[in-house]
């Protein structure tokens, strides 16, 4: 909302000077009407004079120029002018004298134009920045005296316009009077302050009532409708002051009638509409719902199909306006209009909002109606103000008037307890200040039953109270609550808290002290929710493992998720959670973290060749499989109501790890599983890598390389628990993201919720005596997992009889190391050689070679035997 | 002295002069005094001497051994000193660029979120979470943002296509949205817990904004305190205590009246600029304050929607953006840096 400082101050009745623009801005921001910007207009126009044309002659050398003799109030000057619309001798124009500096920066200096001296410049509206008229120079009214400073005759030529951010609860602040009322309440509640609202004249009209003029057929949608029939209108341009005022507020002057309704809109915040009454069938209007398949061509020239809950203003036959949104083209005011029907109305906000949305029409009118305009005295006053201006500027005479009523919102009666206000704010607003604030805001207050004694007596009592400096902050004389009636221009005032807010705004939030209601020390200990703690620990572990965390958008393009829509290891399309109105083409809530991590990888590889080690901890989304289970749904969140929660999709938190070795190098999968092992170690878990065995073999994950993947699991009391998967991303994915063919990217996924509650780590005895080691080179088929070899060796060591009281065993903790996975010369096709180192120790003594060697041989033999059941070609080298 | 011993000494000294390492010195020691050393061997010669000469020879041999041992010891000290001098003459350039281990990093948003959570936990606030996909009831209606409320314009909302769920009464069907703020967590908490309630709710939020200063996905933190006798003064005290812990200095808290449908009175709050302690600098545009977020006393209607007695209990709520706070703290110039995952950006925030 743009507010003219000059206009606003003209609405204030003050003892002293009005606040300057900066002071006003501070006051308004302090009141919650935040000044977001200030625009100062009219720099330099103080120098512009009214000048009278005393003579005109063609320029002797230049056919397009005229040499004009101008009287500036003191002397006659000659000025060259190229405008084609110069008024005749005796006409008045705006003269920029020598030395003046125009708002655009042009400095006026004596000039010679082809041999003729020019002692100034005749200005156009554009040059003075008071309009956009490009036709020619500004022609001033004849009554302006020559020699006067123009800006003293045209209010608003020198002005500061404040850009207010008006919150949706304050429709009253969408007009200058509403803003002025807030300023009045503020100034008058300051110590010794006195301020009142100075409303523009709006004399009552004497025209007869004609109930036929307007009627309401949808009383639930229109609470009040005032109609005025006006005759003898002469449409023409608006006077300069009106044009300047609208121009300052960013509105284009059109014609006197349109400009008057716009002025009243900006003054009262009340939209008005003027119909050409001669175009209305039977010259009357009815407020009704649209008929089935009714149409309307609105002022913007668009033909609109109306819905049956669109409210229209119709004549005896057809819809003539979309109520509260936009007028119709058929009955629009035109240059030849002489008869008017002026509308001032209150429409129910929800209906206007729905219609404006449906027709995608956001107008100044709908913006105000959907927030709620004044349905009381302000409505009538705005209409009367427009009538007075129409009479003055367009010679229109009101010949008939009518008021129709529908369901008007009641004026809320609110009991305010000053004690409650103090309890809520933590500070007491002095009684007299509170009364002054409410009086300024036109909130009626019945303090201690004063209203029973009649308005005069109450006013007198309040006046005495306000004038009594001895009782600044004492309330025992007052009852514990004040009965207040909210004014019709403040639809936001509905309950006690709203009135307390008014007190707070005007009293000033700076007065609120900082004071704990319960001392910090007396509060019980607090904690984070379990899932956040778990996520934080896992992130710490991944960070320590050298991975960098990213945050990517939770919605992605559908095609990026189709790679993961295989039904056994992904989320199929029919379970996608779709955004109805997406941006950037990202229309599906992610079902995997892979797309975001791959996008980040692409971003990085396009810019540098260094290794990229990333992780993300984030939610994925899917509709539950089949029917929703209403029990225990959704998991992990405090349940609001089942009725809501049962309708929500599942959200799971995953950790995704992506490793890229830099350039075209291949990521080492052991670094990946190592990072996982370290991170879940943070949560007290040990990693188990397994392909599953026999009939329990894990199914292949379709988006990982079929030969490079493994299940991640951790031990729990009830056996290993699956927590995710690791491997190399499938070559198809690498290709789909435009990465180089053959690039190997390691990827792991951990389901945070699948991690069981961790056990507290238990201490293990540190070996006191040195271990003895034996190396083993074992030739095995490539397809036989190393994990199987290690398991076989450990099982063999566990079952072989160990003689003596303190037998030799594989050393607990660090038992077997994998030194090398060799493929190449000396190893048959399809095979590899694992070089392993086995550590042997006894608990309470050093071991000898003599006892280790046979044990080692026996373990190897036993393990090979077991492994040959799966792969007959296993042999020690 | 036996000429044999004298020759040994002479020979030894000649050899010693050319010894420059401790290893060579040891070899020399072994060559003369070892089990098979040349001086050791001469001791065996003693038996061949007439008994009268044996005593003298024995004494001479002992002197010879002692002299060699002493010379060896002296030479060893010289060598050690020389080696120490050499070592001390070494110059190591520690100004070379450090070789860092490949450590990872937490996203700056995570770092800020954690620090915020830790701070408020110390102030007695539990951390609460909620779903990202919400029903309109919790995201809007219960927060006093009815279907027709103009405040729904304030949040450009992402809507989610609902799933067909059998057995729902038509009146129960919720419009689903990506939560536009973390405030629905307030509702969920108030509906499930009894006062006193003291929570913060950090989390991901979504709005249909996409430009240089807005991302369609962003992060907020919400604070909520409901109990008997809670006032705006308590909020001010809490925010001040927060600044002390989070910024390491007690900063001014300034409220400016504003409007959010779920609080009344409502305000925006500014904190004294942490970079200049309120004296005025470029970062606070010389105002001494930084705009942080919104706050107010929980609207009695919101309490009632959640089944809390609005006469007995009062409470406050606040909320602000974690992204903006993070950008301010680290002086991150562009929002897009936060979401594109450039490792050269991420590595600037090791933690």
pLDDT number for residue A463: 56
Cα distance from A551 to chain B (closest Cα, Å)?
A: 6
Q: How many Å apart are CA A240 and CA A124, to the nearest integer?
A: 12
Is A426 in contact with B232 (Cβ distance < 8 A)? Answer: yes
Mean pLDDT over residues A817-823, rounded? 93
Contact residues on chain B for A505, CB-CB shorter than 8 A: 257, 265
Among A647, A659, A679, the residue to mutate for chain B (most B Cβ within 10 A): A647
Q: Which of A498, A589, A647 sits opposite B165 (nearest CB)?
A: A647
As a residue count, chain B comes to 351
Structure tokens, A696: 């329990």
Query: What is the CA angle A55-A56-A60, rounded to 5?
Result: 135
Q: Name the closest residue on chain A to residue B193, using Cα atoms.
A: A638
Choose, out of A497, A506, A554, A661, the residue to mutate when testing the contact with B (most B CBs < 10 Å).
A497
Cβ pair B264, B276 in contact under 8 A? no
pLDDT of residue A482 exceeding 80, the answer is yes
A591-611 average pLDDT score? 96
Instruction: Say yes or no: B251 contacts chain A, CB-CB below 8 A.
Output: no
What's chain B's average pLDDT? Answer: 91
C-beta separation of A348 from A369 below 8 A: no
| Nearest chain A CA: its distance from B96 CA (Å) | 21
How far is Cα A199 from Cα B193, in angstroms, rounded to an integer?
52
pLDDT for res A472: 45
Average pLDDT over residues A111-115: 83
Q: How many angstroms separate the CA atoms of A418 and A431, rounded?
A: 8
d(CA A432, CA A417): 15
CB contact under 8 A, A548 and B104: yes
Contacts of residue B286, Cβ cutoff 8 Å, sequence gap at least 6: B280
Position A558 scores a pLDDT of 96
Residue A519 has pLDDT above 90, yes or no: no
Residue A194, classed as helix, strand or coil, is coil
Residue A633 pLDDT more than 50? no
Confidence category of residue B220, pLDDT binned at 50, 70, 90: very high
Q: How far apart are CA A12 and CA A182, in angstroms?
A: 11
What is the per-residue pLDDT for A82? 86
Q: Looking at chain A from residue 375 to 434, which residues have their Cβ under 8 Å from any Cβ of chain B?
A: 423-427
- CB-nearest partner of A549 from B110, B120, B151: B110
Taking the C-alpha atoms of residue B339 and residue A553, their distance in angstroms, rounded to an integer, is: 7
List A272's β-bridge partners, or say none. Answer: A344
Mean pLDDT of all residues belonging to chain A: 90
Distance set, CA A269 to CA A34, A327, A507, A565 (Å): 18, 18, 26, 55
Q: What percent of chain A has a predicted confidence (pLDDT) above 70?
A: 94
Does any CB of chain A come closer than 8 Å to the CB of residue B285? no
pLDDT at A479: 55
pLDDT in the model for residue A192: 84
Any chain B CB within 8 A of the CB of A461? no
Span A752-801, pLDDT tens digits: 989 887 777 778 778 888 899 999 999 999 988 898 899 999 999 988 87
Contact B297 A509 (CB under 8 A): no
Q: Where are the alpha helices (DSSP H) in A664-804?
A: 669-681, 731-736, 786-799
Contact B266 A501 (CB under 8 A): yes
Q: How confident is the model at residue A529 (pLDDT cuts 50, 70, 90)?
A: confident
- Closest CA–CA distance from residue B220 to any residue of chain A (Å): 14
Choose the closest CB to A515 out of B127, B234, B254. Answer: B234
User: How high is the pLDDT of residue A415?
Assistant: 92
**Structure confidence at residue A106 (pLDDT):** 87
Q: Do A554 and B132 touch (CB under 8 A)?
A: yes
**Residue A554: what pLDDT?**
97
The CB-side HSE value for B14 (13 A sphere, CA atoms) comes to 6
Question: In chain A, which residues have their Cβ closer than 8 Å to the Cβ of B208?
Answer: 581, 583
Among the residue ranges A225-229, B39-43, B316-320, the one predicted with the least confidence is B39-43
What mean pLDDT do residues A327-337 have? 94
- In the stretch 486-545 of chain A, residues with CB closer than 8 A to chain B read 495-498, 500-501, 504-505, 509-510, 512-518, 520, 523-529, 531-532, 536, 539-540, 542-545
**Spatial separation of the C-alpha atoms in residues B274 and B280, rounded to whole Å:** 10
What's residue A143's pLDDT?
92
Chain A from 1 to 30: CB within 8 A of any B CB: 29-30
A841 has a pLDDT exceeding 50: yes
pTM of the prediction? 0.85
Q: Cβ atoms within 10 A of the Cβ of B212, count?
A: 8
Cβ atoms of residues A839 and A771 within 8 Å: yes
Mutation to test the A interface, candidates B343, B347, B350, most A Cβ within 10 Å = B343
Residues 6+ away with beta carbon under 8 Å from A667:
A659, A660, A661, A728, A744, A745, A746
Average pLDDT over every residue of B63-74: 93
Residue contact B338–A551, C-beta within 8 A: yes
Using a CB-CB cut-off of 8 Å, the residues of chain A touching B165 are 628, 646-647
> Using H for helix, E for strand and C for coil, what is the string for chain B?
CCHHHHHHHHHHHHHHHCCCCHHHHHHHHHHHHCCCCHHHHHHHHHHHCCHHHHHHHHHHHHHHHHHHHHHHHHHHHHHHHHHHHHHHCCCCCCCCCCCCCCCCECCHHHHHHHHHHHHHHHCCCEECCCCCEEEHHHHCHHHCCCCCCHHHHCCCCCEECCCCCCCCCHHHCCCEEECCCCHHHHHHHHHHCCCCEEEEEEEEEECCCCECCECCEEEEEEEEEEECCCCHHHHHHHHHHHHHHHCCCCCCEEEEEECCCCEEEEEEEEEECCCCCCCCCCCCCCCCEEEEEEEEEECHHHHHHCCCCCCCCEEEEEEEEHHHHHHHHHCCCCHHHHCCCCHHHHCCCCC
Which of B257, B299, B306, B350 best probes binding to A when mutated, by most A CB atoms within 10 angstroms? B257
- Least Cα separation, residue A29 to chain B (angstroms): 7
- Per the omega criterion (within 30 degrees of 0), is the bond before B196 cis? yes
Q: Are A830 and A781 in contact (CB under 8 A)?
A: yes
pLDDT band for A638, please (50, 70, 90 cuts). low
Q: How far apart are CA A233 and CA A29, in angstroms?
A: 42
In chain A, residues with a C-beta closer than 8 Å to the C-beta of B341 are 550-552, 596-597, 599-600, 603-604, 614
The confidence score (pLDDT) of residue A691 equals 74
Residue B309's Cβ-count burial label (10 Å; 0-12, 13-18, 19+) is exposed
Q: How far is CA A668 from CA A708, A734, B45, in A?
A: 11, 16, 71
Closest residue of A to B130, CA-based? A637
Q: Which tokens hold the place of B235? A: 């909020």
Going by pLDDT thresholds of 50, 70 and 90, the confidence category of residue A540 is very high
* Length, in residues, of chain A: 877
Report residue B133 as tokens.
């996909």
Q: For residue A515, give the 3-state DSSP assignment.
A: coil
- pLDDT reading at A408 higher than 70: yes
Angle at A583 between CA A582 and CA A586, to 5 degrees: 70
pLDDT digits (tens, 9 = 90+) for A417-451: 989 999 999 999 998 899 999 999 999 998 765 55
Could you tell me if residue B177 is left (phi over 0), alpha (psi between -120 and 50 degrees) or otherwise beta?
A: beta
Residue pair A591/A564 in contact (Cβ under 8 Å)? The answer is yes
Asked if the Cβ–Cβ distance from A520 to B123 is below 8 Å, we say yes
The whole-number pLDDT of residue B212 equals 85
pLDDT at residue number B167: 67
| Cis amide prior to A634 (ω within 30 degrees) | yes
Please give the Cα distance from A5 to A841 (Å, whole number).
92
Q: Which of A738, A749, A737, A549 is nearest to B343 (CA)?
A: A549
pLDDT on residue A164: 95
Average pLDDT over residues A248-256: 93
Report the pLDDT averaged over residues A652-672.
93
- Record: contact B121-A529, CB cut-off 8 A: no
Write down the pLDDT at residue B237: 95
What per-residue confidence (pLDDT) applies to A692?
63
- Taking an 8 Å cut-off on Cβ atoms, the answer to whether B104 and A354 are in contact is no
Confidence band, pLDDT 50/70/90 cuts, at residue B279: confident
Q: Pairing mode, if any, of strands A816-822 and B126-127? A: unpaired
Cα dihedral angle (B34, B37, B43, B49), rounded to 10 degrees? Answer: 170
Provide the number of CB pairs (under 8 Å) joining chain A to chain B. Answer: 306
């Amino acid at each position: 909302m743009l507010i003219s400082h000059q206009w606003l101050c003209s609405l204030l009745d003050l003892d002293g000077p009005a606040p300057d623009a900066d002071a006003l801005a501070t006051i308004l921001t302090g009141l919650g009407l935040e000044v977001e910007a200030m625009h100062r207009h009219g720099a330099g126009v103080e120098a512009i004079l009214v000048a009278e044309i005393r003579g005109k002659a063609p320029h002797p050398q230049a056919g397009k120029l005229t040499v004009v003799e101008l009287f500036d109030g003191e002397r006659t000057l000659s000025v060259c002018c190229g405008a084609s619309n110069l008024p005749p001798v005796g006409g008045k124009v705006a003269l920029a004298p020598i030395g003046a500096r125009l708002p655009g920066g042009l400095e006026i200096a004596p000039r010679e134009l082809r041999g003729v001296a020019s002692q100034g410049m005749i200005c156009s509206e554009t040059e003075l920045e008071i309009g956009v008229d490009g036709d020619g120079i500004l022609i001033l009214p004849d009554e302006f005296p020559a020699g006067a400073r123009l800006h003293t005759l045209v209010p608003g030529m020198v002005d500061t316009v404040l850009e207010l951010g008006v919150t949706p609860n304050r429709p009253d602040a969408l007009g200058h009077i509403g803003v002025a009322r807030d300023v009045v309440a503020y100034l008058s509640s300051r110590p010794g302050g006195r301020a009142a609202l100075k409303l523009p004249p709006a004399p009552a009209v004497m025209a007869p009532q004609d109930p036929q003029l307007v009627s309401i057929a949808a009383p639930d949608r229109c609470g009040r409708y005032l109609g005025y029939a006006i005759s003898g209108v002469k449409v023409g341009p608006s006077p300069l002051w009106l044009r300047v005022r609208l121009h300052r507020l960013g509105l284009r002057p059109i014609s006197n009638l349109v400009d008057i309704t716009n002025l009243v809109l900006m003054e009262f915040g009340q939209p008005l509409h003027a119909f050409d009454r001669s175009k209305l069938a039977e010259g009357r209007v009815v407020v009704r719902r649209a008929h089935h398949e009714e149409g309307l061509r609105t002022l913007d020239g668009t033909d609109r199909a109306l819905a049956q809950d669109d409210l229209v203003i119709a004549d005896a036959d057809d819809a003539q306006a979309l109520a509260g949104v936009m007028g119709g083209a058929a009955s629009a005011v035109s240059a030849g209009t002489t008869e008017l029907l002026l509308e001032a109305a209150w429409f129910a906000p929800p209906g206007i909002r729905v219609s404006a949305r449906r027709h995608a029409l956001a107008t100044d009118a709908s913006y105000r109606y959907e927030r709620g305009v004044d349905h009381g005295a302000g409505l009538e006053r705005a209409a009367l103000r427009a009538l007075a201006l129409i009479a003055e500027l367009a010679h229109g005479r009101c010949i008939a008037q009518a008021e129709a009523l529908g369901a008007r919102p009641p004026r809320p009666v609110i009991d305010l307890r000053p004690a409650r206000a103090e309890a809520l704010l933590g500070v007491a607003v002095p009684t007299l200040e509170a009364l002054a604030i409410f009086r300024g805001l036109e909130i009626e207050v019945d303090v201690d039953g004063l209203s029973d004694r009649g308005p005069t007596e109450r006013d007198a009592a309040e006046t005495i109270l306000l004038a009594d400096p001895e009782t600044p902050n004492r309330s025992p004389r007052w009852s514990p609550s004040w009965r207040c009636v909210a004014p019709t221009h403040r639809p936001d005032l509905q309950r006690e808290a709203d009135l307390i807010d008014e007190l707070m705004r005007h009293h000033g939030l700076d007065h609120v002290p900082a004071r704990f209601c319960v001392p910090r020390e007396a509060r019980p200990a607090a904690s984070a929710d379990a899932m956040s703690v778990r996520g934080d620990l896992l992130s710490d572990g991944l960070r320590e493992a050298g991975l960098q965390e990213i945050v990517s958008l939770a919605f992605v393009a559908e095609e990026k998720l189709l790679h993961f829509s295989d039904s056994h290891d992904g989320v199929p399309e029919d379970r996608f959670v779709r955004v109805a109105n997406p941006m950037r083409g990202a229309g599906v809530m992610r079902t995997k973290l892979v797309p975001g991590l791959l996008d980040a990888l692409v971003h990085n590889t396009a810019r540098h060749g260094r290794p990229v080690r990333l992780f993300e901890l984030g939610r994925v989304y899917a509709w539950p499989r089949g029917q929703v289970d209403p029990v225990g749904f959704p998991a992990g969140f405090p349940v609001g109501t089942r009725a809501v929660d049962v309708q929500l999709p599942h959200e799971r938190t995953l950790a995704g790890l992506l490793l890229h070795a830099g350039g075209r190098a291949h990521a080492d999968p052991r670094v990946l599983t190592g990072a996982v092992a370290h991170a879940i170690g943070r949560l007290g878990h040990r990693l188990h890598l397994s392909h599953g065995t026999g009939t329990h073999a894990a199914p292949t994950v379709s988006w990982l390389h079929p030969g490079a993947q493994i299940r991640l699991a951790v031990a729990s009391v009830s056996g290993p628990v699956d927590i995710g998967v690791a491997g190399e991303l499938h070559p198809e994915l690498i290709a789909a993201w435009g990465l180089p063919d053959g690039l190997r990217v390691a990827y792991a996924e951990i389901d945070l919720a699948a991690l069981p509650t961790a056990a507290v780590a238990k201490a293990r005895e540190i070996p006191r005596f040195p271990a003895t080691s034996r190396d083993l080179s074992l030739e095995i088929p490539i397809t036989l997992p190393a994990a199987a070899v290690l398991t076989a060796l450990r099982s063999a060591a566990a079952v072989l009889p160990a003689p003596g009281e303190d037998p030799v065993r594989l050393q607990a903790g660090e038992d077997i190391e994998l030194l090398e996975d060799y493929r190449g010369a000396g190893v048959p096709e399809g095979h590899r050689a694992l070089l392993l180192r086995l550590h042997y120790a006894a608990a309470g003594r050093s071991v000898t070679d003599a006892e280790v060697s046979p044990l080692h041989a026996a373990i190897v033999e036993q393990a090979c035997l077991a492994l040959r059941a799966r792969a007959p070609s296993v042999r020690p080298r | 002295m036996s000429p044999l011993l004298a020759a040994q000494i002479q020979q030894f000294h000649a050899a010693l002069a050319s010894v420059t390492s401790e290893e060579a010195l040891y070899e020399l020691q072994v060559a003369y005094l070892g089990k098979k050393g040349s001086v050791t061997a001469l001791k065996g010669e003693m038996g061949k001497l007439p008994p009268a000469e044996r005593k003298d020879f024995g004494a001479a041999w002992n002197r010879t051994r002692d002299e060699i041992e002493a010379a060896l010891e002296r030479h060893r000290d010289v060598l050690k000193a020389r080696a120490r001098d050499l070592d001390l003459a070494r110059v190591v350039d520690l100004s070379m660029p450090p070789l860092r281990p490949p450590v990872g990093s937490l996203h700056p948003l995570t770092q800020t979120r954690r620090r915020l959570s830790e701070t408020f936990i110390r102030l007695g606030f539990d951390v609460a979470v909620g779903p990202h996909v919400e029903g309109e009831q919790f995201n809007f209606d219960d927060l006093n943002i009815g279907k027709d409320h103009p405040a729904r314009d304030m949040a450009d909302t992402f809507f989610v296509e609902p799933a067909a769920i059998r057995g729902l009464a038509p009146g129960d069907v919720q419009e689903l949205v990506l939560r536009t703020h973390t405030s629905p967590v307030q509702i969920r908490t108030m509906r499930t817990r009894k006062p006193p309630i003291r929570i913060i709710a950090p989390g991901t939020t979504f709005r249909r904004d996409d430009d240089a200063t807005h991302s369609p996905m962003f992060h907020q933190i919400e604070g909520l305190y409901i109990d008997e006798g809670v006032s705006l003064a308590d909020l001010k005290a809490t925010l001040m205590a927060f600044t002390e812990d989070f910024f390491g200095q007690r900063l001014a808290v300034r409220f400016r009246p504003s409007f959010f449908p779920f609080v009344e009175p409502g305000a925006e709050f500014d904190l004294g600029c942490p970079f200049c302690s309120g004296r005025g600098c470029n970062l606070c545009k010389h105002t001494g304050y930084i705009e942080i977020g919104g706050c107010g006393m929980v609207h009695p209607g919101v309490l009632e929607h959640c089944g809390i007695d609005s006469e007995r209990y009062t409470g406050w709520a606040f909320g602000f953006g974690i992204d903006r706070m993070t950008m301010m703290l680290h002086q991150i110039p562009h929002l897009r840096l936060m979401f594109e995952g450039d490792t050269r950006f991420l590595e600037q925030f090791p933690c």
